[in-house]
Amino acid sequence: MEKKDLKGDDRISFVGKRDIWQDFVYKVKKNKKKVWQELEPILEDYIKSNWGFIMQTSLTEFKQTEELNQTSKYEDNTYINNEIEPNISNKYKYGQYFTKTSIVKRVVNLILNYKSYSKNIDILEPSFGTGNFISVLKDKEFNNITGCEIDSSLTDNPMDFFHFPIHNKYDLIIGNPPFTKYNVVESYYYPNNYLTSPINKEHYLTKKLLKKEKEKIENIFILKSLKHLKNDDSSIAFVLPISFFIKNRNKEIKEEILKKFSTIIVYQNDKVWFDYHIPCCFAIFTNTEKYNNKIIVIYENSEVHESVFEISSINEELIPEVIFNKNNGNTIQLNGIELENYLSKKRIKCNKSFKENNVSGKNILERTKIPENSEIKNYKLAIVRVGNSSVGKCGLININEDTLNDMFYVFDFKDSYINNKEIKEKICEEINKNQDYFKQITCRVGSKSIKKEDVYNFKVEI
Ligand SMILES: C[S@@+](CC[C@H](N)C(=O)[O-])C[C@H]1O[C@@H](n2cnc3c(N)ncnc32)[C@H](O)[C@@H]1O
pLDDT at residue 77, rounded to an integer: 26
pLDDT at residue 78, rounded to an integer: 27
pLDDT at residue 218, rounded to an integer: 98
How remote is the CA of residue 178 from the centroid of ligand 1, in Å? 5
pLDDT at residue 37, rounded to an integer: 55
pLDDT at residue 9, rounded to an integer: 58
pLDDT at residue 118, rounded to an integer: 97
What are the CA-CA distances from residue 343 to residues 151, 251, 275, 337, 338 (Å)? 52, 29, 42, 11, 9
How remote is the CA of residue 238 from the centroid of ligand 1, in Å? 12
Map out the domains of the chain with their CATH numbers. Answer: 3-73 (no CATH), 101-327 (3.40.50.150), 337-460 (3.90.220.20)
Give the predicted TM-score (pTM) of the model: 0.69
When mean pLDDT is compared across 40-54, 222-236, 259-273, the lowest value belongs to: 40-54
pLDDT at residue 191, rounded to an integer: 96
How remote is the CA of residue 127 from the centroid of ligand 1, in Å? 4
How remote is the CA of residue 120 from the centroid of ligand 1, in Å? 24
Question: Does residue 81 carry a pLDDT above 60?
Answer: no
Q: What angle do CA 436, 442, 443 make, to 5 degrees?
A: 110
Q: Are 159 and 224 in contact (CB under 8 A)?
A: no
How remote is the CA of residue 129 from the centroid of ligand 1, in Å? 5
- How far apart are alpha carbons 138 and 41 in whole angstroms? 44
Phi then psi dihedrals of residue 207, to 5 deg: -60, -40
How remote is the CA of residue 413 from the centroid of ligand 1, in Å? 48
Whether 286 is in the pocket of ligand 1, judged by its Cβ within 6 Å, is no
Amino acid at 219: N
How remote is the CA of residue 188 from the centroid of ligand 1, in Å? 13
Closest CA to 130 of 166, 167, 91, 93: 91
Task: Indicate the pLDDT class of residue 80, thresholds 50, 70 and 90.
Answer: very low
Closest CA to 145 of 153, 154, 155, 135: 135
Amino acid at 441: I
Whether 276 is in the pocket of ligand 1, judged by its Cβ within 6 Å, is no
Whether 176 is in the pocket of ligand 1, judged by its Cβ within 6 Å, is yes
Whether 133 is in the pocket of ligand 1, judged by its Cβ within 6 Å, is yes
- How far apart are alpha carbons 20 and 65 in whole angstroms? 11
How remote is the CA of residue 407 from the centroid of ligand 1, in Å? 33
Question: Does residue 57 carry a pLDDT above 60?
Answer: no
Question: Does residue 166 carry a pLDDT above 90?
Answer: yes
Q: Where are the alpha helices (DSSP H) in 410-451?
A: 421-433, 435-440
pLDDT at residue 415, rounded to an integer: 96
Q: Give the mean pLDDT of 34-43.
A: 58
- Give the tens place of pLDDT for each residue, 62-79: 443 433 333 222 222 222
Return the higher-pLDDT residue of 184 and 29. 184
Whether 131 is in the pocket of ligand 1, judged by its Cβ within 6 Å, is no
- How far apart are alpha carbons 296 and 176 in whole angstroms? 20
Nearest CA to ligand 1 atom 15: 94
pLDDT at residue 343, rounded to an integer: 97
Q: Give the mean pLDDT of 436-451.
A: 70
When mean pLDDT is compared across 132-146, 370-384, 387-401, the lowest value belongs to: 387-401
Whether 89 is in the pocket of ligand 1, judged by its Cβ within 6 Å, is no
Question: How many Å from the N-terminal Cα to the C-terminal Cα in the chain?
Answer: 64
Of ligand 1's listed atoms, the one at least distance from the Cα of 151 is: 25
Question: Does residue 42 carry a pLDDT above 90?
Answer: no
**H or E element at residue 397:** strand 394-398
Question: Does residue 6 carry a pLDDT above 70?
Answer: no
**Average predicted confidence (pLDDT) for the chain:** 84
Selection from 1-15, 19-33, 88-102 with the highest mean pLDDT = 88-102
Q: Could you tell which of 149, 194, 240 is best to mutate to test the pocket of ligand 1, judged by most ligand atoms within 8 Å of the CB?
A: 149
Return the higher-pLDDT residue of 133 and 407. 133
Burial (Cβ within 10 Å: 0-12, 13-18, ≥19) of residue 312? exposed
Whether 442 is in the pocket of ligand 1, judged by its Cβ within 6 Å, is no
Of ligand 1's listed atoms, the one at least distance from the Cα of 104 is: 8
Question: Does residue 50 carry a pLDDT above 70?
Answer: no
Question: Does residue 250 carry a pLDDT above 60?
Answer: yes
- Give the tens place of pLDDT for each residue, 180-208: 987 889 999 999 999 999 999 999 999 99
pLDDT at residue 35, rounded to an integer: 52
Whether 189 is in the pocket of ligand 1, judged by its Cβ within 6 Å, is no
